[in-house]
């Protein structure tokens, strides 16, 4: 009799533990809109999609059919119901619809538009028409193929453009950028290797997404900009980069620039650091290091910068200008 009683108590405990684990899984499982600017068939986004789904999230992937890096927040729409050219990696062909989903997965969509318009396509068409207008809890951009550091890239990055488009719509967002410059087709490169940068980044995406969602989310109008260091096969000393809160802005910024190429007769695209842009720190936590200061050390830390879409000047600068204008 005592053995039966003990067994019943064990079953009761197991049932309670299962119930707690089940409730915990429900608590963290949310609807995530996943996008990027490197194309819906790129390796990094497919690794993130796989790992977010494995973590229990309801993931809807909507991303450009073409590489759309550096398009910022530009809003671009298809000018034809069918494609006039092949999509990225030739995965979608000329003559195919300008928008659609994977034949075997209706949660993976492409759109012939910019990252920003992909978010609108998801929120205004895909989700209302195909997913019962489910509430999106978080917009996740990336991981981008290359870093997006400082406000200069906040402005120009298509990945960040997608994220702040979601934030404008009242949905919190996180932009993730890697250091792998991995412009590769997922059918050629996606694997389960532990030292694959795409897989390491995807695991860290899940880690931070879960932190945000289980903590109650981000305040309205606020997002995160994350830059990963080199990892795995690109840096054998770094397989689990640690988080460090940083400032997006330092005393200067990295910004796009150009040079005239006398051989081609055209202009070359460059990135230049412009120092002394600010006289000092006027907004945010002035005690933090800038994200590029931490990133350039390459010591296995991922920068996490908290940004706002409120572009109004600080009260200090606002008062200076009002005084100068006598207004």
For residues 66 and 88, is the Cβ–Cβ distance under 8 A? yes
Name the nearest CA neighbour of 305 among 285, 277, 326, 279.
Answer: 285
What single-letter DSSP state applies at residue 264?
T
* Position 5 pLDDT exceeds 70: no
pLDDT value, residue 271 = 84
Percent residues over pLDDT 90 in the chain: 74
* Position 167 pLDDT exceeds 70: yes
pLDDT value, residue 22 = 42
* Position 8 pLDDT exceeds 60: no
Average pLDDT over residues 294-305: 95
Tell which wins on pLDDT, 190 or 314: 190
Average pLDDT over residues 189-203: 97
State the pLDDT confidence band at 24, using cuts at 50, 70 and 90.
very low
pLDDT value, residue 26 = 46
Angle, helices 197-214 vs 2-28, to 10°: value is 100
C-alpha span between 279 and 286 (Å, rounded): 13
Strand pairing of 99-102 and 58-64? unpaired
* Position 256 pLDDT exceeds 90: no
Residue 225 has which token pair? 């900009």
Average pLDDT over residues 280-295: 88
pLDDT value, residue 17 = 47
The 10s digit of each residue's pLDDT in 203-224 is 999 999 999 999 988 999 999 9
C-alpha span between 41 and 141 (Å, rounded): 14
C-alpha span between 8 and 16 (Å, rounded): 12
The 10s digit of each residue's pLDDT in 81-130 is 999 999 999 999 999 999 999 999 999 999 999 999 999 999 999 999 99
Average pLDDT over residues 29-55: 96
Q: How far is CA 249 from the centre of its chain?
A: 19
What's the topology of domain 28-247+286-311? Stationary-phase Survival Protein Sure Homolog; Chain: A, (3.40.1210)
pLDDT value, residue 14 = 52
Handedness of CA 42, 47, 48, 53 (dihedral sign): positive
Write down the domain spans for the chain: 28-247+286-311
C-alpha span between 127 and 257 (Å, rounded): 38
Cis peptide before 143 (omega within 30 of 0): yes
State the pLDDT confidence band at 9, using cuts at 50, 70 and 90.
low
Average pLDDT over residues 295-299: 92
Q: What is the mean pLDDT of the chain?
A: 90
Which positions are annotated as active-site residues?
177
pLDDT value, residue 7 = 58
* Position 40 pLDDT exceeds 90: yes
pLDDT value, residue 252 = 77
C-alpha span between 184 and 191 (Å, rounded): 12
C-alpha span between 296 and 284 (Å, rounded): 21
pLDDT value, residue 18 = 45
C-alpha span between 264 and 293 (Å, rounded): 35
C-alpha span between 87 and 90 (Å, rounded): 5
Question: Which segment of 146-150, 183-187, 200-204, 302-306 scores lowest on mean pLDDT?
Answer: 146-150
* Position 10 pLDDT exceeds 70: no
| Ordered DSSP codes for 33-101 | EEE-SS-TTBHHHHHHHHHHHHTT-EEEEEEESS--TT-TT-----SSSB-SS--GGGSS-TTSBSEEE
C-alpha span between 35 and 166 (Å, rounded): 11
Tell which wins on pLDDT, 250 or 323: 323
* Position 280 pLDDT exceeds 50: yes
pLDDT value, residue 12 = 56
pLDDT value, residue 255 = 82
């Amino acid at each position: 009799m005592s053995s039966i009683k003990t067994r019943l108590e064990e079953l009761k405990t197991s049932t309670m533990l299962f119930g707690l684990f089940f409730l915990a899984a429900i608590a963290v499982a949310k609807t995530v809109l996943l996008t990027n600017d490197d194309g819906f068939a790129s390796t990094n986004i497919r690794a993130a999609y796989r790992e977010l789904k494995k973590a229990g999230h309801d993931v809807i992937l909507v991303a450009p059919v073409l590489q759309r890096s550096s398009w910022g927040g530009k809003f671009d729409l298809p000018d034809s119901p069918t494609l006039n050219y092949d999509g990225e990696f030739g995965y979608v062909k000329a003559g195919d619809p300008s928008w659609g989903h994977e034949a075997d997965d209706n949660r993976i969509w492409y759109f012939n538009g910019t990252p920003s318009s992909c978010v609108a396509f998801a929120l205004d068409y895909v989700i209302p028409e195909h997913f019962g207008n489910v509430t999106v809890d978080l917009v996740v951009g990336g991981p981008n193929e290359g870093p997006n550091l400082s406000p200069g890239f906040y402005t120009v990055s298509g990945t960040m453009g997608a994220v702040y488009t979601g934030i404008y719509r009242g949905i919190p967002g996180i932009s993730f950028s890697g250091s792998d410059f991995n412009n590769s087709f997922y059918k050629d490169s996606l694997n389960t290797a532990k030292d694959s940068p795409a897989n390491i980044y995807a695991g860290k995406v899940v880690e931070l997404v879960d932190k945000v969602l289980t903590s109650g989310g981000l305040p309205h109008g606020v997002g995160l900009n994350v830059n990963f260091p080199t990892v795995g096969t690109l840096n054998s000393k770094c397989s689990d980069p640690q988080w460090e809160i940083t400032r997006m802005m330092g005393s200067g910024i990295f910004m796009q620039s150009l040079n005239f190429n006398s051989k081609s007769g055209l202009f070359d695209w460059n990135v230049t650091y412009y120092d002394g842009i600010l006289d000092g720190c006027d907004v945010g936590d002035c005690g933090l290091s800038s994200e590029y200061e931490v990133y350039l050390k390459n010591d296995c830390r991922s920068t996490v910068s908290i940004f706002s879409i409120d572009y109004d000047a600080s009260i200090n600068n606002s008062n200076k200008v009002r005084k100068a204008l006598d207004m």
